[in-house]
Structure 1
Amino acid sequence: MARGQLVFISGGVRSGKSAYAEMLVRDTGKSRRIYLASGQAYDEEMIERIERHRKDRQEDGWLTIEQAYSMANVLQELEPDDLVLWDCVTTWLANELYEGWETGNMCADIEDCMEQKWGKLQETILEMLNTVHSLTIVSNEVLDDFVRDRLYQSWLGRIHIWLVQQADQALEMENGLSFRRK
């Protein structure tokens, strides 16, 4: 089976990376466009934002799949010609790394918890690439001011290195401009 194309886009908060990723996917072709959203609604404001974004994407021809945690849950919904955009790695990582914080039993504090989640995500990404036409993945910069947690930054850096190694194209966004890194 032919492997789908992987595009990885990184950039700072408000760098234009998500809008650029949407444009790239939209311009790729007429196939079904799938938007994998990994944000979670913790309050009324976030619920409204998620619903507004989903409605905007739907009006633009996107099918949105909300998947905050296990990306493997979407595999059965994907088709060979799909153009998939996952926005974004950083929210997935925060969801997984800090899962259980409210009980004081965070994944980050449990031996091998993140290793297992990361291994499953790698398998899932490779399986997606064997299923779909293209997969575009968006992420924030590793040293973004938004999160200054060293463990988080370390995991994000590790994930970015692997994604760049796997990617057919790796881009960095800065002030709405893209720079090819691979």
Structure 2
Amino acid sequence: MTGIKHILVLGGCRSGKSGFAKQAADHMARDKKIYLATSVPTDREMKERVKHHQEDRGPDWATIEEPIRIHETIDRACVQAKVILVDCLTLWVSNLLLQETNEAGIMAAVDRLMDALNRSTCPVILVSNEVGYGIVPENSLARQFRDMAGLVNQRVARAVDEVVVSMAGIPVRIKPNPIQPGRISGNGEPQ
């Protein structure tokens, strides 16, 4: 829809991605902001993280907890929201894998998410970890998670209007990208 801009915010752990995403949402709307949390806190430390995030957001945010069916939540919430912040896609992928969802099932879930974004009547900001910069994990489930997170990030990045990577607390916009594939000269310089 015209005027609706969806944003993907990527980064490593403690890179500032969630803070940037919240600031972007706060800039888009003063009220009717929905925080769609995919986290399933299972231990005390994770519960403390969730509590800290809730306190940081403040009372002008409504929180909806949904670990799996985020497309349905976006469909329902966009009717009343001025902006939706989904935090985060990597926990969502983890939740899907823990339900023994295979690659085809996860890609089908991404398709449902893309359809929900296309139907959304308000901006959606999606947060995700960039997990591909580290070492190759030693076990199959961790490698599957890394690979699926990367594939999901690629699919979502292609579908949204803007992609921002946060590094060391500094947001860097990478889409729209002024350097297009095939537009690099022989010496590596943008044309």
* TM-score normalised by length of structure 2: 0.78
Q: Match for 1:164 among 157, 168, 185?
A: 157
Shift of 1:47: 3.0
Q: Could you tell me which residue of structure 2 aligns to residue 103 of structure 1?
A: none
Aligned residue for 1:63?
62
What is the CA-CA distance between 1:143 and the residue it aligns to? 1.6
Q: TM-score, normalised by structure 1?
A: 0.81
Which whole-Å CA distance do the structure 2 matches of 1:26 and 1:17 have between them?
A: 14
User: Is the alpha carbon distance of 1:36 and 1:147 closer, same or farther for their aligned partners in structure 2, counting shifts above 3 Å?
Assistant: farther
Question: Could you say if the C-alpha distance between residues 72 and 147 of structure 1 is closer, same or farther in structure 2, counting changes exceeding 3 Å?
Answer: farther
- Is the contact between residue 57 and residue 63 of structure 1 (CA under 8 Å) also seen in structure 2? no
Mapped partners of 2:76, 2:41: distance in 1: 24
The 3-state SS of whatever aligns with 2:120 is coil
Q: CA RMSD in A?
A: 2.3
Seen in structure 2, the aligned counterparts of structure 1 residues 3 and 150 have a Cα distance that, compared at 3 Å, is farther
Listed as ranges, the matches of 1:1-182 within 5 Å are 2=2, 4-59=4-59, 61-74=60-73, 75-79=75-79, 82-99=82-99, 106-107=100-101, 113-145=102-134, 148=137, 149-182=142-175
Distance change (3 Å), C-alpha of 1:50 and 1:157:
same
Tell me how far 1:31 sits from its aligned partner. Answer: 4.7
CA distance in 2, matches of 1:69, 1:42: 16
SS of residue matched to 1:127: helix
Give the AA of the match of 1:92.
Answer: W
After the TM superposition, which parts of structure 1 deviate over 6 Å for at least 4 consecutive aligned residues?
none
Higher-RCO chain (CA-CA 8 Å, sequence separation at least 6): 1
Q: 8 Å contact 1:69–1:92 — kept in the other structure?
A: yes
Q: Which moved more, 1:118-127 or 1:142-151?
A: 142-151
Distance 1:36 1:147 in 2: 30
**Aligned positions, number:** 170
Superposition deviation, residue 70 in structure 1: 1.4
SS in structure 1 at match of 2:7:
strand
